Chain A
Amino acid sequence: DTAVSQTPKYLVTQMGNDKSIKCEQNLGHDTMYWYKQDSKKFLKIMFSYNNKELIINETVPNRFSPKSPDKAHLNLHINSLELGDSAVYFCASSLSVGSGGELFFGEGSRLTVL
């Protein structure tokens, strides 16, 4: 069983489209994250949810909207896609805020905007 799974693994789409990436974790963790990794492999946090509540919201265009229907799922919806949105998006989870626990990452979703 994959601990943190995200779909789709690859996504190729045109500028202006709207797309979603889904993430699920079966580790029983309370906190989930979305990270963006650009072409230079730099990793930046975008959002974090703890028990369905948004706790980290970095400076991200409001075209990006996370949704957490329950603590095991954190989805990322992106409206009006732009060329600069091309990247690998990683979902991750960890134990509760303050636990100091490690992040468990999914395998990434590579988004290519044409």
Chain B
Amino acid sequence: GEDVEQSLFLSVREGDSSVINCTYTDSSSTYLYWYKQEPGAGLQLLTYIFSNMDMKQDQRLTVLLNKKDKHLSLRIADTQTGDSAIYFCAVRPMNRDDKIIFGKGTRLHILP
């Protein structure tokens, strides 16, 4: 399968929590990232987590890492219309020439 997989679409009501999931195959991945892409713009790093951590919280964002299952998630609390974007999961495996591998992106749609 693909190195990094994530569902392509997610719809959430404004004010609810959004949870975007990602699975990866390379267990040597040392850094795991979430990038956000707004329409017509480049990708911006939202947050990242080191492989020796289980959880990282940053204001409305919570990243959970399950190394055993190779599963990464991004939770956005109190989702707002400005959160509407494509969210890319990305991993940096060791010894792969410093390559960061991206998932196909999850398009988050906010319902009023």
Residues of A within 8 A of B (CB): 4, 31, 40-45, 48, 50, 55-56, 90, 92, 94, 97-98, 100, 102-108
Contacts and interface: CB of A to CB of B under 8 A. Distances in A.
Given A90-B43, A92-B42, A103-B45, 11 more contacts: A4-B42, A41-B86, A41-B104, A43-B43, A44-B102, A48-B99, A56-B98, A100-B30, A100-B31, A100-B50, A102-B33
A31 B98 contact: yes
Contacts of A108: 41-42
SS class of chain A's interface: helix, strand, loop or mixed?
strand
Contact of B42 (A31, A41, A100, A105): A105
Contacts, number: 57
Nearest to A42: B104
Top 6 closest pairs, chain A to chain B, by CB: A105-B42, A97-B98, A102-B45, A43-B102, A105-B43, A100-B31
Interface of B: 30-31, 33, 35, 37, 40-45, 48, 50, 86, 88, 92, 97-102, 104-105, 107
